[in-house]
Chain A
Amino acid sequence: MKRLFSLTALAVVFGCGCAQAQYSDGSIKIGVMNDMSGTYADLSGQGSVIAARMAVEDFGAAAKGMKVEIVGADHQNKPDVGSNVVRTWIDVDKVDVIVDVPTSSVALAVNEIVRDKNKVFLVSGAAASDLTGPKCTPNTIHWTYDTWALANGTGKAIVKTGGDTWFFLTADYAFGHALERDTAAVVEKNGGKVLGKVRHPFPGTDFSSFLLQAQASKAKIIGLANAGSDTINSIKQAAEFGITQGGQNLAALLAFITDVHALGLQTAQGLIMTEAWYWDLNDANREFAKKFAPQDKGVYPTMVHAGVYSAVTHYLKAVEALKSDADGKAIVAKMKEMPTDDKLFGKGTVRADGRKIHPMYLFEVKKPGESKGAWDYYKLRATIPADEAFRPLAEGGCPLVKS
């Protein structure tokens, strides 16, 4: 029983068959897996499939005689569902590369499977910095962002601009702890002080008690070490309790432009966060956004979508150079060897530990009066240059890095 696990079996079939290049099964199959219906559906979801499709078109696969298919699937943020899909995709449907996968627990599971089966894994949505650390493999490249880059961007930049006392509101599970730990380390290294922390159960609904404690601490910055609906709820309820009016600022350690859109500028104004890409930074980005949004129900592209575009572009270049898509390790080695260059992220590199390097940006959410319309949400507070944005190669603990 062969069955195709595809949410949208977008068989984007380009051009004629293969001439010189030997592609396994006759075509290059890209599997975009993410959350299509839950908390992260807006920041990844169908949009990532669209971004992948745009990358394939812009690459001109048809003209080069490469047959490329894209399939999508919903992992529902569960590692067991994700593992099942990927296993079946590789064993039964002959998918060659897995792309996106937000939710670190799923990404870590997929990471193992792809290594065992020697395919390629390009992570755009997930945050776990372990993917280029102890869990790094020769088959995985971590694009877009990770927890270290976020902690470094948000933590360091805020402390340097005066936010030197912190209180953490942490989701009581592994990811929340990791966010808190990384950011606290950065804060203290840059001369700040952590006045206290409180752990809220995950998932939470009512944060009022914890916000009260944060308020009582009188810390200048309240760091939200949580994600998704927990972050949104914390921010909403903080506004309700007048915390920002009282002079404290909220720092969202993992937030996306889609969260700001859900909250509205009235509630989210003044929020500080780090992202890897924003549609309004330059003309190329704006043009991409104008093409993207109508295809994705008016939702503007997030950094995750941009990362998918960039990763797929570079992957196709590597496959074209090797004239084969069969050996995952070889393709990833090629991707690390070739410098990256695409219209969204510009020039960059992929490091030996699988980390894609590019600058990161610190944004502050505009006040309602400052915004010209929907999705015009950010003002740029600082740019973190590429060589400072990510964890130094030696500190990661990745076995692939020879010391």
Chain B
Amino acid sequence: MQRVAQATGDHAVRTRSEAIAFVVMAGALIIAPMFAYPVFLMKALCFALFACAFNLLIGYVGLLSFGHALFFGWASYVGAHAAKVWGFPPELAILSGTATGAGLGAIVGALAIRRQGIYFAMITLALAQMMYFFAIQAPFTHGEDGIQAVPRGKLFGFIDLADQTNMYVTVLVIFLGCFLLIYRIINSPFGEVLKAIRENEARAVSLGYRTERYKLVAFVLSATFAGVAGSTKALVFQLASLTDVDWPMSGEVILMTLVGGLGTLFGPVAGAFFMVTLENYLTTIGQWVFVVQGAIFVVCVLLFRRGIVGELAQILRVKL
């Protein structure tokens, strides 16, 4: 009896800590524009969502994708194209980007899932690189120029997103909504199977689960959320460019998640804000940015594997 009580008690404690953290995060983000440059905050939010999407795959399924920029960047292109050339209103532009992420996720996932571990990572990297070369050549992306002057449009026909505050609120709502969705996915029967696959795939198979299917669905979900992040970013900056599909972008999202804390709920958010802030200060030092990023990778892998939020959670003995 006592063990059951303990178990449920722990569960209550866990969800309570996560709920508190969520309220704190949402509150901070609501008042943040009074203290910080809103465009900077929106950039951080888009990347936070991207990192959460990536974390879904690596933190909860154990699959390291080295090509996530593919989904982020191509969703950004399609969203930008939809808004500018097809004249879609912003909500449909973002949906188009999301659909792109999902579609590409299905194709890439189907190919990549065939191998495990290191091979999986290399395949995602290679496929992303291939799509990068397509992006250079495809006429609609305008290659080096990117898709510029993307109109933000009027949300639902009447909310003018050219106004900075409106745009910020929209981005915040999208971010919090997707964050809650991801939370729901992780803490569901489906999510439990994913975690089982991460712990010991062979055992999950022996229990009768079709692990290939679960992995593929998780991959597509991750790609979809990355797509939301990408198309939202295209509207915020009114630009979709090659940087978004290039491999350093894939590396960045990995770094954000690693620094923030793999497999924690809030880790990717913390990591994204950390890296975006760091890069803001580092624009003054040009290419040293790469060296700093590399150094952070090395330090994190060797000494700091739990990441910011992971260490915090460990110290406070809560789940974050």
Mask: chain B, 133-153; 1 = CB below 8 Å from A; 0 = not? 100110000111110110000
Bound-state CA distance A2–B280 (Å) is 11
Query: Which residues of B are found within 8 Å of A37, using beta-carbon distances?
Result: 286-287
What residues of A have a CB within 8 angstroms of the CB of B137 in the complex? 172-173
A173 to B135, CA, bound (A): 10
What is the chain A residue whose CB lies nearest that of B76? A80
Interface: A320 (CB within 8 A): no
Q: Is A104 an interface residue (CB 8 A)?
A: yes
What mask results when residues 84 to 111 of chain A are scored 1 for a CB within 8 Å of chain B, else 0? 1101100110000000000111001100
> Which of A71-79, A263-271, A280-288, A377-385 interfaces with chain B?
A71-79
Residue from the list B133, B149, B286 in contact with A74, Cβ < 8 A: B286
What residue in chain B is nearest A202 (Cβ atoms)?
B136
The 4 closest A-B pairs by CB, nearest first: A105-B145, A173-B143, A105-B144, A37-B286
Known: A7-B286, A172-B136, A172-B137. A81 touches B243 (CB 8 A): yes
Q: Which residue of A lies closest to B43 (CB)?
A: A84
> Which residue of A6, A78, A81 contacts B284 across the interface (Cβ within 8 Å)?
A6
A140 to B185, CA, bound (A): 50
Least distance between A44 CB and chain B CB atoms (Å): 14
Q: Looking at chain A, what size class is its interface with the partner chain?
A: 35 or more
Contacts of B142 in A (CB 8 A): 174
Contacts of B37 in A (CB 8 A): 1-2, 88, 91-92
Binary per-residue interface labels of chain B (33-62) against chain A in the complex, 1 for a CB within 8 Å, 0 otherwise? 001110110010000000000000000000
Distance, CA A76 to CA B243, complexed state (A): 11
B158 proximal to A (CB < 8 A) = no
Asked if B239 CB lies within 8 Å of chain A CBs, one says yes
21 A-B pairs with CB atoms under 8 Å apart are: A3-B281, A7-B286, A73-B283, A76-B286, A79-B148, A79-B239, A79-B243, A81-B243, A81-B283, A87-B39, A88-B39, A91-B39, A104-B144, A105-B143, A105-B146, A105-B241, A109-B148, A112-B149, A172-B137, A174-B142, A174-B144
Is A312 interfacial (CB 8 A cutoff)? no
- Nearest to B162 among chain A residues (CB) is A116
Interface of B with A (CB < 8 Å)? Answer: 35-37, 39-40, 43, 133, 136-137, 142-146, 148-149, 237, 239, 241-244, 280-281, 283-284, 286-287
* Nearest residue, chain B, Cβ from A4: B284
| Complex: chain B residue closest to A91, CB-CB | B37
Find the B residue at minimum CB distance from A41: B286
When C-beta atoms are compared, the residue in chain A nearest to B283 turns out to be A5
Q: How far is the CB of A76 from chain B (nearest CB, A)?
A: 8
Closest Cβ of chain A to B292, distance in Å, is 14
Q: Give the residue among B37, B142, B145, B146 with the most A Cβ atoms within 10 A.
A: B145
Query: Per-residue 0/1 for A315-347: is the Cβ within 8 Å of any B Cβ (1 yes, 0 no)?
Result: 000000000000000000000000000000000
Q: How far is the CA of A88 from the CA of B284 in the complex (A)?
A: 13
| Distance between A114 CB and nearest chain B CB, rounded to angstroms | 12
Q: A7-B284, A87-B39, A109-B148 are in contact. List 10 more A-B contacts (CB 8 A).
A: A5-B284, A38-B287, A78-B242, A79-B144, A84-B43, A85-B283, A91-B37, A91-B39, A105-B145, A174-B144
Report yes or no: A83 in contact with B35, Cβ–Cβ below 8 A: no
CA distance A290 to B98 in the complex (A): 57
Q: Which of A174-229 contact B (CB under 8 A)?
A: 174-175, 201-202
Q: Which chain A residues lie closer than 8 Å to B143 at the CB level?
A: 105, 173-175, 202
Bound-state CA distance A85–B283 (Å) is 9
With the chains together, A36 CA to B283 CA distance in Å?
11
A91 / chain B contacts, CB cutoff of 8 Å:
37, 39
Q: Taking each of B144, B146, B239, which has the highest tally of chain A beta carbons within 10 Å of its own beta carbon?
A: B144
Please tell me if the beta carbons of B286 and A109 are within 8 angstroms of each other in the complex: no
From residue A305, how far is it (CB to closest CB) to chain B in Å? 19
Residues in A whose Cβ lies below 8 Å from that of B237: 80, 83-84
| Contact present for A80 and B243 (CB under 8 Å) | yes
Which of chain B's residues have a CB closer than 8 A to the CB of A109?
A: 145-146, 148, 239
Contacts of A174 in B (CB 8 A): 142-145
Contacts of A103 in B (CB 8 A): 144
CB contacts (< 8 Å) of A83 on chain B: these are 237, 239
Chain A residues lying within 8 Å of B149, measured Cβ to Cβ, are 112
**A1 — nearest CB in chain B belongs to which residue?**
B36
